Amino acid sequence: MEKRIGFIGLGNMGYPMAVNYLKEFSNLVVYNRSQEKCIELQKEGAVAAKQISELVEKSDIIGLSLPGPKEVESVVKEILQTAKAGQIIMDFSTISPKLACLLADLAESKGVNYVDMPVSGGPVGVRNASLSIMIGASEEEIEQAGLMPYLQTIGKTFHFMGKRGSGQAIKIINNYMAFTAQVINGEALMTADALGIDIDKFYQVTTTSSGDNKILDAKMNKVKNEDYQPGFALDLVVKDLELARELCSDSKIPNFTLNTGLQFYRLAQSKDCGGLDSSSVIKVIRELNNK
């Protein structure tokens, strides 16, 4: 018997995830604080729940794609008010490992299985079903729970990290690597600007030489075209870097580059770039060279 799927959170990542599930499986229940996107999916055959409790009642597996820790904690606790033993929560959001473990314990007390499954690859990765998924469980556990078809609908690469919270930990490490690299990219481009090096030449050299990195390639066209419509909003970068700082603080780990990078994104926030793409930090850095 096919499991019933519920999905909560229809933002830049959640909406294309829900679209994929609707295409692949015959039933989908969706909930979003704003009902507009629910109505769009309802036209395609999804059931639009008016309340989270309604979605919980109609679902065996519940996927989450929410902005941050506060939203995830609130929604999971609301789910658990009416959840039944045997239900599964797949959390694709990025939160702290500590919170993921807390929510897993709360869910277990109700007989519910909560698994942290943060993702990397952006909306394009969802649409192409090519996301990298970092899973806070073993491969054996995921197979036994019958969850692989639901992961393969949105992802291509699966990292089984073994225990709850470990998916979040590696996702946070990955993100602070990427976003601090983007600051370095911005400073490098600012230096090229100051020396009169053409932006096309800058990218021709750096993307084919040892300075290349994935986020340099991924954001190149946005920077060159000054297109800062959000793929991944800068406010979310600050949230993820704050999570990384919390992770390091809890473990008494020094991380100088992380803290420096965070200040550049905060500077960009102060210049009203919070709702723009993460690459808008490069625009802010380049403006430091105005003479």
- ∠ CA 186-240-207, nearest 5°, is 30
The SS3 of residue 160 is strand
Which residues are registered as beta bridge partners of 28? 5
User: Does residue 23 have an active-site annotation?
Assistant: no
Supply the Cα-derived Rg of the chain in whole angstroms.
Answer: 20
Instruction: Considering the candidates 171, 222, 239, 283, report the single residue annotated as catalytic.
Output: 171
The dihedral sign for the CA sequence 25, 158, 124, 243: positive
Q: Which of 132, 129, 119, 2 is nearest to 61 (CA)?
A: 2
- The residue count for the chain: 291
Distance CA 237, CA 287 (A): 20
Residues tagged active-site? 171
